[in-house]
Structure 1
């Protein structure tokens, strides 16, 4: 944990240094900020070298990359600024090395943490081999989703509370004309509370079948499809220790995007599933061959 904190601190310092370079380099380099800097008289730099700092070369490719990463127009002035920032960074590095900061305990710990992270990333890149997602896989996923949709789709809102007494309080206020969205923000424990309880469009094939509710709890899905547009559930729907109050904001015939409109997103989702599955397999294999004490 301490090494992780050291590493995060190092990254924060790196960001701070980058910001400081933008503010400090211009005054330090003076007129070079407004015009491309020229090498010292009589000095010819090798091809591909933009500058030298105490004999250490700064590659032109690094300047090119810095310009691209800056997001600014590629102008001589911007190139000069980026090159001068790289020069300043090299001066900082040399000064730190001369003062033996590379031997400081916190620097060593952060370097070890960064090294471990890079090794893990390289290992996982080679070890995790997700199954390829084929065009047939994507089409099958699309067909399965379409087959699970009903005739209508619903845009609804929900207030989810933890006890029957609170649910009754909310329903009483709604019957008196209380604003659903405001009551959701005040009382709801649901994930969409900050948005006034608003949920995404959803469609269910009816009658509701277990396992075909688009991830919704079955009792909630069953209650939703029975409500007319604009209606609020007359009683809370209990789900374990939760009490749901639903409102149907809009209802319309189910709008199904075409396969061409959907295939890129579906492929991405399937690839994420394949990656998660392959990662889990690597972890399982490592655990099997490891001696772990807890």
Structure 2
């Protein structure tokens, strides 16, 4: 079993660290460690002064100020003396565990060796990808072009829809019957829908289409859904299921208003993020394609 990826083990180990740390609080100045980069340093007296960047010594192994600072940052909590004391004691407890495990030769156990190899593989792969995957830079002109392209697809009005998507016509018609009887749309979406945001009652973000609907200008919506949506007044539900492939959709227009187009400076951060993700995916696909092309793969 890989303890590094086992949440139950991680929680258990953390609890042990906290429990042991609590016993250290009255004697937090007791022994700590030589720096993690100097495990084989000559033994030091427990009463010897700590080096400048050390906060504790555990059986001749130093715990450094840098390690404590990193632990504080990882918590994303306000930096207080109480937090630092607690984290320092946890670092001491963790080092005691490490030393006890090493003394008992746990480093030779198969599950530990496997975990080390897995961590090595992950680190090696991540380093390789950082060096080899080179996404094309996203320029201000790219962001402006994306903004203009999106604005060009927007229509006069925008809609705040909710949807229910099911896999058969009988269920869709059953839902429509319940809606006509006054059953809450969101409740039915949570109960039946296999579509987006079902747990939120099927509610989607604002969407706008230039009308009449043109293929390719539907903001990634299936064209039949876009055409059905723009025909509905505010508060209305589609009178019949809209079939797209093997899925039957029921639409409701929760709100309708004149399209509100954000200024470029309001949208550019999100657009840049989207374009950078696309560039990263493209660069990654190129590396994968090259590796596949030059590999012998049998399946």
TM-score by length of 1: 0.89
Residue of structure 1 in register with 2:120 after alignment: 115
Judge which range, 81-90 or 281-290, deviates more: 81-90
User: Aligned residue for 1:268?
Assistant: 273
- Hey, what does 2:85 align to over in structure 1? 80
**139-148 or 59-68: bigger deviation:** 59-68
Question: Alignment partner for residue 100 of structure 1, among 59, 81, 105?
Answer: 105
**Cα drift, residue 292 of structure 1:** 0.7
State the secondary structure of the residue aligned to 1:229. coil
Q: Is the 8 A contact 2:21 2:92 kept in 1?
A: no
Check 1:95–1:42 CA distance in 2 against 1; reply closer, same or farther (3 A cut). Answer: closer
For 1:199 and 1:77, the matched residues in 2 are separated by 44
1:173-204 superposed Cα distances (whole Å, 9 cap, x missing partner): 22233322222222222122222222211000
For the aligned residue pairs, the C-alpha RMSD in angstroms reads 2.1
Alignment of 1:1-294 (within 5 A): 5=2, 7-9=4-6, 13-27=9-23, 29-32=24-27, 37=29, 43-294=48-299
Deviations 1:233-292 (A, max 9, x none): 222212121222211111100011111110001101100010011011110000001111
State how far apart, in whole Å, the 1-side matches of 2:127 and 2:275 are. 23
Equivalent-residue separation in structure 2 for 1:247 and 1:98 (angstroms): 66
Change (3 A) 1:190 1:47: same
SS of the aligned residue for 1:170 comes to helix
SS in 2 for 1:51: strand
Write the distance in 2 (CA, Å) between the matches of 1:88 and 1:271: 42
In 1: Cα distance, 2:78 partner to 2:235 partner: 52
* TM-score normalized by the length of structure 2: 0.88
Cα deviation 1:53-98 (Å, max 9, x = unaligned): 2222222221232233344554444433333322222221111111
DSSP 3-state at the match of 2:243: strand
Q: CA deviation at 1:172?
A: 2.1
> Which segments of 5 or more consecutive residues in structure 1 lack a partner in the other structure?
none
2:34 maps to: none
Verify the 8 A CA contact 1:102 1:108 in the aligned structure 2.
yes
Higher mean displacement: 37-46 or 221-230: 37-46
Uncovered stretches (5+) of structure 2, i.e. residues with no partner: 32-44
